Structure 1
Amino acid sequence: MRKLPLRHVVAALLCAVALLLISSPGLSAEAKRLYEQHCASCHSADRLGGMGPALLPENLRRLRPDAATEVIADGRIATQMPGFSHELDAEQISLLVDFIYEPLAEMPVWGMAEMDASRVVHHERSELSDTPLFDADPLNLFIVVELGDHHASLLDGDSLEVLTRFPTRYALHGGPKYEPDGRFVYFASRDGWISKFDVYNMKTVAEIRAGINTRNVAVSGDGRYLLVGNYLPHSAVLLDAGDLTPLKILEARDAEGTSSRVSAVYTAAPRESFIVALRDVAEVWEIGYGTPGFPLRRIELDDYLDDFFFDPGYRHLIGAARNANNAQVVNLDEGLKVAELDLTGLPHLGSGISWEYRGRPVLATPNLREGQVSVIDMQEWKIIERIDTLGPGFFMRSHGDSPYAWVDVFFGPNRDAVHIIDKNTLEIVRTLRPAPGKTAAHVEYDRHGRYAILSIWDDDGAIVIYDGDTLEEVKRIPMKRPSGKYNVYNKTRLDPGTSH
């Protein structure tokens, strides 16, 4: 039997110790039973997070116990959290609320030593070919994430054929991120694993566990660094993109020392910086990667910002909090809020897109709480149109060479519908139902704008490929709950029709 490297043995022992520390005295056996039956499959048996976030008092600071009671009973919008009022009575829900707000006997630690021990290199650089092992345009490939059985497919955007299908870590989150030339792509799983995949060789080459409950990863504009945002521990972690060596841990605390979850990390390549969204404090961080020492700049605001959109020059960010009825516009150069937008429908700004409308740049975003797409003038920072849809939407996509924008109706009884909007008239010109009764979501174009590819979000699902001009179906490929599709060219060249 082959012996495991010492660092892998150490990592396993550290994980085992962490799990031994989670039991909390004083909690009833019934509460634990209810949690194991209804919650553990998504939030993990140790409450440290899995498909869903960690359920600990440190992570629930912005959710009061009475609000948590409502979430357990009725579910939560814009998440996969269902309601349990039809299965649990008020007393049982109260037991669960008490359970998740009970502190752990001791919080697990995940620092440099733990990360170093977890890191594994599957293939050395010298083992890898610098020539793609396929005959396809490397810039017109897609990574398609299949959540149904934790795999991903590499799709040729010209031939519309799958080149390979490979296993991923459990419960990917935040979308894969490409390095600038598109050869390597990085995945983040909710339980903290960062995986580096070589597209040319179609192999996972290195992995590290950078956190316990992770939100997403960003790649620097020069391709040298990664930044990982964590819910647990409350940190942002800098990694060397080459071999995933951990370089620095930035504890997520405001100027007063209040700890916070990191809700997302972004790359602002024109600024040579990372932008960090903090969940529990009213600050935005900018971390420079073009300057030695990775200096941190704090931008203090008057409200939380969980979700961002950037204007094309990365001079402004538009952010919104999950519990707010507006959005803030922040000038990153000046470090100041310069405008406020009346967005009451909980905009999904991370899925926003932009284009030129009547000579002016506009931002369009679906809303998670209202059946409406908001169109915003990015010069005067005002809403110029509200396009009514059949229900709240999650994803919106277009392409710089397409006259159309696609938006899904992810929530509600019309979740099988997707609208197509004419970007010149701001009118819905067609509504498609590619799989009646099944959720239709997340369109992504190929590099040329020739095809628009949509997901049937179901374990017995598919990707459906449409002609970008005629809007007629071209092909569908069966897949296991395909969630997102990510085109190399559009993501690395920052096409205005996709998220970055």
Structure 2
Amino acid sequence: MNFLSLVARLVFFLPAVSALANEADTRTLYRTQCAACHGEARLGGIGPALLPGNLSRLKPDAAGQVIRDGRLASQMPGFGETLDSDEIASLVEWIYRPPETPPSWTKDDILASQVVAFPEGSLPNEPLFDADPLNLFIVVETGDHHASVLDGDSFERIHRFETRYALHGGPKYTPDGRYVFFGSRDGWITKYDLYNLEVVAEVRAGINMRNIAVSADGRYVMAANYLPHSLVLFDAHELDLMKVYPVADEAGNGSRVSAVYAAPPRGSFIAALKDIEEVWEIPWPLPIEPVVSTGHMSTPLAAGRSHDTPNFRVRRISVPDYLDDFFFDLDYRHVIGASRGGQGGMVVDLDSGEKVADLPLAGMPHLGSGITWEYEGRRVMATPHLSKAAVSIIDMQDWSVIKTLETDGPGFFMRSHANSPYAWVDVFFGPNRDRVHVIDKASLEIVETLIPEPGKTAAHVEFDRYGKKLLLSIWDDDGAVIVYDGDTLEELKRIPMRKPSGKYNVWNKTRYEEGTSH
């Protein structure tokens, strides 16, 4: 072989070698910078799955910007000071490349994953403790993937137990408060017996799950998945699989499910879809007698169901925009929704399927954390914003914004109680994340700003069943749950915890208390 032939062969071969080297470098870069949150195989973890089918609403240029600058109102940091433009471009190309083996989680996979540790009826029917079972709190500690059970009267810890990785969307209770269901980012549903302090059953509904919902009668559990694009229905008793719903529009375009909610007065599940402009309603069979008539919901179960959709069959409701985030009025007739990329919200009548109002809510309203109360004889709702230092207060009769409160930064969680004169909102994002505002519900003014632990994030209030005391998290590995007097705002107690996030009171969640998210 002469010299020129050798050079020609090398020139031909070098691009392939370079491509392989670049791919190896990108794999290493992804493993180093991204895998901890998004999974080694890009299937999701704390962060969402990074696959072409899950990135349909995010263009590659925008994905590069997110990698460089981070993502507002999320745990996604910016890597602009760590990675150069070529490295960011290689990561963008990588996450939009289809995987060599397409991920799947089939009906058979779900069935094979089910574990029943204690069959229905095999455990005692009396609590192991003396505390009021309807005034318990579940506190999710994300620092080391545990949950604590607190007595809502004494605020003593009854039990602490290990959970699945990265719980999301809040635990959901059966109406009697005995069982609580957890959903994890990696698809696991766990049924836990609060009376006996035992995990009784588990099943994996998907690969990357957003949240779960439990029917008002406690008989059914629905899971919302990002991956695969599906809703999955289970019998709540032992988490037996009932049905898998592939989520797609009528043309076959698939969609992630942003969240699923139980709508007790309608007797149905409502699903928010990430990638198609639809809302889905799936009714469950009705009991002979109403099961929800307490708390702020005086409407009997399913009195609001005005359509004839058979049990567990999907009713598609077309909407003018993507609706990633939801809030419902008290009767669950109207859904107030917003797109994370939009400039406002809209109100959809679930009975007629028609949009009835637009809401001028710039700043990414976090409607899932909205609350309502009575103000001067009318019902108002209030919501923080994820990208704007404001709380919007809306008249729910004509859907007008009656007041916008300026805050010390964008907020994430807002809470109150029917028996409390105050609404609490955190300042979750930005330099003032250690602050919490207290709003007088009668004057619609901020009357107090607390700094529970300077320099550490303060977030997520939850009241006890009586609305007299409340818990607030110091969202830090060396954190705590703080007990406050709901009237005097005096700190009463601190309970050390590992990055406590959400706190969920049995009474408030099962009675749909007006100041608690649902």
Normalising by structure 1, report the TM-score. Answer: 0.94
The aligned amino acid for 2:228 is P
User: Which residue of structure 2 lines up, in the alignment, with residue 162 of structure 1?
Assistant: 157
| SS of alignment partner, residue 28 of structure 1 | helix
Q: CA contact under 8 A between 2:146 and 2:161: conserved in structure 1?
A: yes
| SS of alignment partner, residue 53 of structure 2 | helix
Give the drift of 1:125. 2.7
Residues in 1 aligned to 2:313 and 2:155: alpha-carbon distance in whole angstroms: 44
| SS of alignment partner, residue 111 of structure 2 | helix
TM-superposition CA deviations, 1:460-490 (whole Å, max 9, x none): 0000110011000000000000000000000
User: Which residue of structure 2 lines up, in the alignment, with residue 259 of structure 1?
Assistant: 254
Determine if the alignment matches structure 1 residue 68 to structure 2 residue 63. yes
User: Which residue of structure 1 lines up, in the alignment, with residue 292 of structure 2?
Assistant: none
Residues in 1 aligned to 2:461 and 2:123: alpha-carbon distance in whole angstroms: 32
User: Which residue of structure 2 lines up, in the alignment, with residue 318 of structure 1?
Assistant: 336
Give the drift of 1:77. 1.1
Give the drift of 1:124. 2.2
User: Which residue of structure 1 lines up, in the alignment, with residue 283 of structure 2?
Assistant: 288
Residues in 2 aligned to 1:27 and 1:123: alpha-carbon distance in whole angstroms: 51
Give the drift of 1:293. 4.5
Q: CA contact under 8 A between 2:282 and 2:311: conserved in structure 1?
A: no
Q: CA contact under 8 A between 2:370 and 2:382: conserved in structure 1?
A: yes
Determine if the alignment matches structure 1 residue 438 to structure 2 residue 438. no
Match of 1:250 among 240, 245, 251: 245
Determine if the alignment matches structure 1 residue 338 to structure 2 residue 333. no
| SS of alignment partner, residue 154 of structure 1 | strand
Residues in 2 aligned to 1:440 and 1:285: alpha-carbon distance in whole angstroms: 35
Larger Rg: 2
Q: CA contact under 8 A between 2:285 and 2:311: conserved in structure 1?
A: no
Match of 1:480 among 494, 498, 501: 498
Residues in 2 aligned to 1:465 and 1:293: alpha-carbon distance in whole angstroms: 43
Residues in 1 aligned to 2:154 and 2:426: alpha-carbon distance in whole angstroms: 26
TM-superposition CA deviations, 1:5-38 (whole Å, max 9, x none): xxxxxxxxxxxxxxxxxxx999711111110000
Q: CA contact under 8 A between 1:73 and 1:83: conserved in structure 2?
A: yes
Give the drift of 1:176. 0.4
| SS of alignment partner, residue 134 of structure 2 | helix
Residues in 2 aligned to 1:230 and 1:400: alpha-carbon distance in whole angstroms: 33
Give the drift of 1:135. 0.1
User: Which residue of structure 1 lines up, in the alignment, with residue 133 of structure 2?
Assistant: 138
User: Which residue of structure 2 lines up, in the alignment, with residue 15 of structure 1?
Assistant: none
Residues in 1 aligned to 2:260 and 2:416: alpha-carbon distance in whole angstroms: 23
Normalising by structure 2, report the TM-score. Answer: 0.91
Give the drift of 1:155. 0.4
Determine if the alignment matches structure 1 residue 113 to structure 2 residue 113. no
Residues in 2 aligned to 1:382 and 1:107: alpha-carbon distance in whole angstroms: 47
The aligned amino acid for 2:365 is P
| SS of alignment partner, residue 386 of structure 2 | coil
Residues in 1 aligned to 2:174 and 2:50: alpha-carbon distance in whole angstroms: 33
Residues in 1 aligned to 2:319 and 2:110: alpha-carbon distance in whole angstroms: 32
The aligned amino acid for 2:484 is Y
Out of 138-147 and 124-133, give the one that drifted further. Answer: 124-133
Residues in 2 aligned to 1:475 and 1:450: alpha-carbon distance in whole angstroms: 14
Q: Percentage identity across aligned positions?
A: 63
Match of 1:413 among 431, 435, 449: 431
| SS of alignment partner, residue 116 of structure 1 | helix
Q: What is the 5 A alignment of 1:116-195?
A: 116-195=111-190
User: Which residue of structure 2 lines up, in the alignment, with residue 198 of structure 1?
Assistant: 193
Q: CA contact under 8 A between 1:25 and 1:105: conserved in structure 2?
A: no
Q: CA contact under 8 A between 1:27 and 1:99: conserved in structure 2?
A: no
| SS of alignment partner, residue 239 of structure 2 | coil
Residues in 2 aligned to 1:300 and 1:27: alpha-carbon distance in whole angstroms: 44
Match of 1:270 among 256, 265, 270: 265
RMSD: 1.2
Determine if the alignment matches structure 1 residue 347 to structure 2 residue 365. yes
Q: CA contact under 8 A between 1:351 and 1:395: conserved in structure 2?
A: yes
Give the drift of 1:199. 0.5
Structure 2: runs of 5+ lacking an equivalent = 1-18, 287-309
Give the drift of 1:78. 1.3
Q: What is the 5 A alignment of 1:388-467?
A: 388-467=406-485
TM-superposition CA deviations, 1:168-195 (whole Å, max 9, x none): 0000010101111111000000000000
| SS of alignment partner, residue 73 of structure 1 | helix
The aligned amino acid for 2:106 is G
Match of 1:236 among 212, 215, 231: 231
User: Which residue of structure 1 lines up, in the alignment, with residue 508 of structure 2?
Assistant: 490
User: Which residue of structure 2 lines up, in the alignment, with residue 306 of structure 1?
Assistant: 324
User: Which residue of structure 2 lines up, in the alignment, with residue 90 of structure 1?
Assistant: 85
The aligned amino acid for 1:268 is A
Give the drift of 1:263. 0.6
TM-superposition CA deviations, 1:105-138 (whole Å, max 9, x none): 2312211110110100112234311001100111
Match of 1:213 among 208, 215, 226: 208
| SS of alignment partner, residue 127 of structure 1 | coil
Give the drift of 1:86. 1.2
Residues in 1 aligned to 2:73 and 2:198: alpha-carbon distance in whole angstroms: 33
User: Which residue of structure 1 lines up, in the alignment, with residue 291 of structure 2?
Assistant: none
| SS of alignment partner, residue 27 of structure 2 | helix
Residues in 1 aligned to 2:155 and 2:217: alpha-carbon distance in whole angstroms: 30
Residues in 2 aligned to 1:320 and 1:48: alpha-carbon distance in whole angstroms: 26
